[in-house]
Amino acid sequence: MEKGNIFHSPLFWVRVLKNQQETRIASVAPQKVVKLTVFRNKIRRKTYEALRQIKESISNGNYIVVFAKVNLCKHSQKDILNDLKTLFVKAGVLG
């Protein structure tokens, strides 16, 4: 996804493309952040778990890609959830 608006937080950056038919969300853990695949998968699982908890509040018609900025293995699930909530409010997709 090359188009869309970009929003940053301490743990993530998000690219949002609005005015779509349905809402789709993807999580990416770049190899630049964590080299080992085991930890990248763990980051994606933690991110998807946080997204699952707030998906009912996300407005419809958005394509959202969540990129990890740092190694999230050291952060608690509560920190990840709070960071995503504030980031989505900033992006205007949580409401």
Q: For 61-84, what is each residue's pLDDT tens digit?
A: 999 999 999 989 899 999 999 999
CB 87 within 8 A of CB 78: no
Task: Convert the pLDDT of each residue in 21-44 to its tens digit.
Answer: 999 999 999 999 999 999 999 999
Tokens encoding 46 = 């933690």
Count of C-beta atoms within a 10 Å radius of residue 8: 12
How far, in Å, CA of 4 to CA of 6, rounded? 7
> Which pLDDT score is estimated for 73?
87
